[in-house]
Amino acid sequence: MDPTGLDLPPLAAAFVFGLLGGAHCIGMCGGIMSALTFAVPPSMRHPARLAGLLLGYNLGRIASYIAAGALVAGLGTLIGVAPGARLALQVLAAVMLMLMALYIADWWKGLLRVEALGRRLWRHLEPFGRRLMPVVRVPQAVALGAVWGWLPCGLVYSMLAWSLAIAEPLRGAAIMGAFGLGTLPALLATGLAARQLGALIRHPATRTLAALAIIAFALWQLWVLLPGGMEHGAAHPGDH
């Protein structure tokens, strides 16, 4: 039994998923971070200040992931009351993880269609982010990051589906927090390290291995749902 009550193996898996999704993060958010950095007046672009702003952006972004995880898991608690609904949510979570894997490996881009679900919300939130520009103080960066965290993202939605299936707000928040931390290396790396990291993450072999690992995890999630599966595997992330 996990003494923390937060199921550390699933948290570790969520962290790894964030790392494996680095190629998507660099492609989708790397340009945003660069734009935000260059928006800082040249006279204020000191390394320490820029580092603080970058950390602030990501702190706010991950805080939004955590809040979304708690909200979605709370919704899962309500939905899970209906007979069979909990099982349906768990199957949905596994399917979404497999879609994430297909996207990461560049085998199928259907997950992009899921992002369309969040565009309506984003249209209402984006103006708030624009009002915070240019960012020159850490509190501004945190606030902008909190808005940025709601940017439509298929990978985030895949993890939210997992939080929905977990149906426990605290654990849903923890899963999203771990995922957010996993995305940090790709978004915080700078200079030569960023180029090296980007090349490694984008390499077809790396993406394929990442996709296969996620698919294997998703299939395990489905296997433990089968009659007798719980007797041979570890407890499902949504169960105790």
Q: What is the pLDDT along the chain (240 residues), one digit of tens a residue?
A: 344 344 567 888 899 888 877 666 665 665 666 666 666 777 677 778 878 888 898 899 999 999 999 999 999 999 987 878 888 998 998 999 899 889 888 898 887 787 777 777 888 888 888 788 777 888 998 998 899 889 888 889 989 999 999 899 999 999 999 999 998 887 776 444 555 566 666 678 888 888 898 899 889 888 888 876 554 444 444 544
Query: Do residues 55 and 180 lie in contact, with contact meaning Cβ atoms separated by under 8 Å?
Result: no
As a whole number of angstroms, the distance between CA 232 and CA 174 comes to 26
Q: What does the pLDDT read at residue 22?
A: 67
Return the ∠ at Cα 28 (arms to 193 and 201), rounded to 5°: 40
Q: What does the pLDDT read at residue 8?
A: 60
As a whole number of angstroms, the distance between CA 59 and CA 53 comes to 10
Structure tokens at 60: 């706010």
Query: Do residues 226 and 87 lie in contact, with contact meaning Cβ atoms separated by under 8 Å?
Result: no
Structure tokens at 175: 């899963």
Q: What does the pLDDT read at residue 86?
A: 84
Query: Do residues 231 and 97 lie in contact, with contact meaning Cβ atoms separated by under 8 Å?
Result: no
Query: Do residues 236 and 223 lie in contact, with contact meaning Cβ atoms separated by under 8 Å?
Result: no
Q: What does the pLDDT read at residue 116?
A: 77
As a whole number of angstroms, the distance between CA 172 and CA 72 comes to 8
Is the CA virtual torsion 39, 42, 43, 47 positive or negative? positive
Number of H helices, E strands in the chain: 13, 0
